[in-house]
Structure 1
Amino acid sequence: MKIITVKDAQAGGKVAFEILSEKLAAGAKVLGLATGSTPIPLYQEIVNSNLDFSDVTSINLDEYVGLPVENEQSYDYFMREHLFNAKPFKQSFLPNGLAEDLQEETKRYDAVIDSHPVDLQILGIGRNGHIGFNEPGTSFDITTHVVDLAQDTIQANSRFFDTIDDVPKQAISMGIASIMNSKTILLLAFGEEKSDAIAQMVNGPITEELPASVLQQHADVIVIADEAAASKL
């Protein structure tokens, strides 16, 4: 696990962009993408660049259950606003949170991932150590699944909604086993509130109670953390 410490999120976005550019130049064709505030500096760097993604496929980590793609809080909407409208990809996959049969949707998404092995997976990390929407206690062996969101995750996401009651209580998430199959993992963490999770991820025991700790077992993980997030390493 390689740790890169940067001054702040904007600097982190620049370093992440350099790594992504190198991977594309080396032949990467499939990117695993994340949502939330953490990857926005990276996406801004991409949008402002001259990189062409017309031959690149993207696969997103997750999507809320029950939100139409037109909803401003859906991850489909997020990706279009922050990246896809400016940088169209060859094809872009997200889970369908409105699927009538959610279990069938998880199988469909597993098939998408299996047929498009991820070259570079972008990750954030939750304050409780979750990656994607894989909450503490999630099996390391699980693939795409329907998640009942933890209360602290709902609380953290409530800042994006009018009230906490509007926050979806479920999501479809790429599983930990699927994430671990990515060739390279690039995890971004910014802010002091992520410092405990980062310290435990890097130096703590490998345990399903801190999902990100499994990354210790991956052969190629790069962590970009600002000084605040790295303060307890």
Structure 2
Amino acid sequence: MVAVTKFFRVDDLLVQIYNSEVEMAQEVAKITQKYLQEVLQRQDTAAVLLATGNSQLKFLDALIELGGINWSRIILFHLDEYLGITANHPASFRRYLQERVEKRVYPQQFHYIEGDALQPVAECDRYTKLLQAQPIDLCCLGVGENGHLAFNDPAVANFQDPYAVKLVKLDLANRQQQVNTGHFPSIDSVPQYAFTVTLPLICSATKIICLAPEERKAQAVKQMLRESISSKYPASILRQQSQATLFLDINSASLLS
């Protein structure tokens, strides 16, 4: 049995801390499974917005291995994608999700952001219409080392964003993180621009789960929970979301008193 070492609220945000990333991932998988089962008892389909990155790997594996979800009734979306990158690029989020999710569970539909679209602004409009065609039942998130959610870095994060999907310039800290975690060989190879789902659209989800394990996330976690709620710390917006839960391991929670 997995035990929560500590749980508490910071404003409206529930925070749960686990002894390890593995324990955290297994517990979040069970919570997600139960929630999606409940949603599908009430309605024909469930719409889920997925994150990518290393923080999601153990969770996605645990969720798929757990079973008990009728994926043929799940419609999937994702949070972000690099501008100009092809679907078969090793760092493409489309490739990440096709290999780790779609080809393993065969959802009813997986709507992808086409990073190499010939008309990027039109692609923002297309994806916005898909997202707004139905409520998002669940949004899965990670937290960047600079406090970003999706690709809403501090310089471009807008808590009242008029857009649901937009093009943004990635900051240096974000691009360096992609190198440090092995997604690109050098910072020059990391695209400077990307598509991102915006913060208001993320916060419109009926349920939000945010996973932020590992010591390298500790500073971002401390800032999002202890500093002011501000676009300077984009993830701090979750403190205004009563439907959100932040899941940590003892390493990412190490700077919290």
| Residue of structure 2 equivalent to 1:129 | 147
Partner of 2:22, secondary structure, is helix
Query: 1:203, CA displacement in angstroms?
Result: 2.6
Matched, 1:5 2:21: no
Q: What's the CA shift for 1:132?
A: 0.2
Partner of 1:17: 29
State the SS of the aligned residue for 2:72: coil
C-alpha separation between the residues in 2 aligned to 1:73 and 1:55?
28
CA distance in 1, matches of 2:24, 2:254: 15
Whether 1:118 and 2:136 are equivalent positions in the alignment is yes
2:210 pairs with 1:187: yes
1:54 maps to 72
Does residue 1:175 correspond to 2:193, yes or no?
A: no
SS in 2 for 1:145: strand
TM-score normalised according to structure 2 size: 0.87
Query: 1:38-65: CA deviations, max 9, x gaps?
Result: 0111111123232331100111001111
Determine the structure 2 residue equivalent to 1:45.
62
Q: CA deviation at 1:121?
A: 0.6
Which whole-Å CA distance do the structure 1 matches of 2:24 and 2:249 have between them?
7
Indicate the residue corresponding to 1:144 in structure 2.
Answer: 165
Amino acid at match of 1:31: V
Which residue among 42, 45, 48 is the counterpart of 1:31? 48
Aligned length: 233
Query: In structure 1, what is the Cα distance between the partners aligned to 2:194 and 2:135?
Result: 22
For residues 70-95 of structure 1, the C-alpha deviation after alignment (integer angstroms, 9 at most, x for no partner) is: 11211110001111111111111121
Residue 67, structure 1, aligned to residue 88, structure 2: no
Matched, 1:102 2:125: no
| CA deviation after TM superposition for structure 1 residue 122, in Å | 0.4
Correspondence list, 1:87-98, <5 A: 87-98=105-116
Which consecutive aligned stretches of 4+ in structure 1 deviate over 2 angstroms post-superposition? 49-52
- Structure 1-normalised TM-score? 0.96
Residue-by-residue CA offset, 1:192-233 (whole Å, 9 max, x unaligned): 121121122123211111111111111211111000111222
C-alpha RMSD of the superposition: 1.2
How far does the alpha carbon of each residue in 1:134-157 deviate from its partner, in whole angstroms, 9 at most, with x for none? Answer: 000321122211011111111110
Report if the CA contact (8 A) 2:26-2:63 is conserved: no
Give the unaligned 5+ runs of structure 2.
1-12, 41-45
Structure 1 match to 2:185: 162
Q: Equivalents in 2 of 1:180, 1:47: separation in Å?
A: 25
Residue aligning to 1:208: 231
Q: Secondary structure at the match of 1:173?
A: strand
Looking at structure 2, the residues matched to 49 and 216 of structure 1 have their Cα atoms a distance apart, in angstroms, of 30
Distance 1:79 1:89 in 2: 12
8 Å contact from structure 1 (residues 130, 210) kept in 2: yes
Name whichever of 163-172 and 55-64 sits farther off. 163-172
Structure 1 residue runs of 5 or longer lacking an equivalent are none
Shift of 1:189: 0.6
Q: d(CA) in 2 for partners of 1:131 and 1:32?
A: 13
Q: Could you say which residue in structure 1 is the equivalent of 2:4? A: none
